[in-house]
Amino acid sequence: MRPKKLVPFLLGSPVIAYALITKNVWSITIPLFLFSFFAFYNAPKLDKYLKKKYGNEYEEYAKMTKMLIPFIY
């Protein structure tokens, strides 16, 4: 996982913990929304920005690392 992408994940952990502790079905919707927003909107937008800023250097780095889930995505 890329270091800058780890921060939003760690910030979302207390929200997920709250949802699990309360055992409320509705409290899981917030973590799911936050994860979806990050994974499908923010992360691709950040990758696009970094490709524009660093060019080939970032593309080589991106080939060696996974965006969100190590060894998968």
pLDDT, tens only, 22-66: 877 777 787 788 888 888 898 889 889 999 999 999 999 888 887
Q: Where are the domains of the chain?
A: 3-64
Separation between Cα atoms, residue 35 and residue 40, nearest integer Å: 8
Burial class for 50, CB neighbours closer than 10 Å (0-12, 13-18, 19+): middle
pLDDT score of 50: 92
pTM for the model stands at 0.59
